[in-house]
Homo-oligomer: A and B are copies of this chain.
């Protein structure tokens, strides 16, 4: 069993770190708001006061936080993991973040003998609780087998996508797909309602054929229950789609579907829905279409 550091106890992070504890690893935890680490501490994790302490002498330090700025601060900042006296063996960032930052962390890690991977995940709160996440890894191929055993308790699909940043780029692909799927689902719901169909019965028909998707099976049922709680925060999705748009533009790509989705989610955040789940796009479009 390993000595591991864990930074970040949001909706996803808490469940994922729990899987490492269940697998028998020793875990040091740090997060911005200590109360959010309660479940993990009750389950046997040890609290530490900084990212540096979470990283000091551990086999690997993991992070899953909100924004690229947070990732940068946690790893490269003055109390960051790479400032630990006894550098960790591996640094694995599970945050959906910038591909360029992933490369920077890898390079800065190498200077201290730390092998860093970007490893963003998909599968939502459900996947985090079930340990069935898809984990998209970028980093050095030779050492991948060393980190894989730590990822296995959290993930059902774990794929090395390429060198540093390739995990983040793959996650961008994932979010382009998720955004399209969510916009499609919400337009479909608007039509369902306006046409006077029974949405649960429609879902039964459309979720099993060529229209089927994870969104339809997992998020639309929440919408039909009036449940707009996160799952996955709108404000984090705005961040992800922003990264996607900037990356696409830097590659000279014009992706109008992505642009449309990103503008909708930005408008939702501006309308005060940032702390709702991504399925709250339904609320936003319902409001935009006026009283029914």
A positions within 8 Å CB-CB of B: 121-124, 127, 133-136, 156-157, 159, 161-162, 166, 169-170, 172-181, 183-185, 187-188, 190-192, 194-198, 201-202, 204-206, 208-216, 218, 232, 244, 247-248, 251-258, 260, 289
Contacts and interface: CB of A to CB of B under 8 A. Distances in A.
A184 B262 CA distance: 13
26 contacts: A122-B211, A127-B209, A127-B210, A156-B208, A157-B208, A159-B201, A161-B205, A162-B196, A169-B195, A170-B206, A173-B192, A173-B195, A173-B197, A173-B202, A174-B210, A175-B211, A177-B185, A180-B183, A181-B211, A183-B257, A190-B255, A191-B251, A191-B255, A195-B247, A254-B289, A256-B260
Given A123-B210, A136-B206, A180-B180, 17 more contacts: A121-B209, A122-B211, A157-B205, A157-B208, A161-B205, A162-B197, A170-B205, A170-B206, A173-B188, A174-B205, A177-B188, A184-B257, A187-B255, A187-B257, A190-B255, A194-B252, A213-B214
Contacts of A170: 197, 202, 205-206
A235 to B, nearest CB: 17
> Chain A binding site: helix, strand, loop or mixed by DSSP?
helix
Q: How many copies does the complex hold?
A: 2
A148 B258 CA distance: 41
A134 B209 contact: yes
A214 to B, nearest CB: 4
A7 B194 CA distance: 32
Nearest to A134: B209
A202 B162 CA distance: 10
A81 to B, nearest CB: 26
A121 B209 CA distance: 8
Contacts of A232: 210
A184 B174 contact: no
A122 to B, nearest CB: 3
Given A202-B161, A205-B136, A210 B180 contact: no
A92 to B, nearest CB: 16
A196 B197 CA distance: 44
Given A166-B197, A180-B181, A194-B251, A209 B173 contact: no
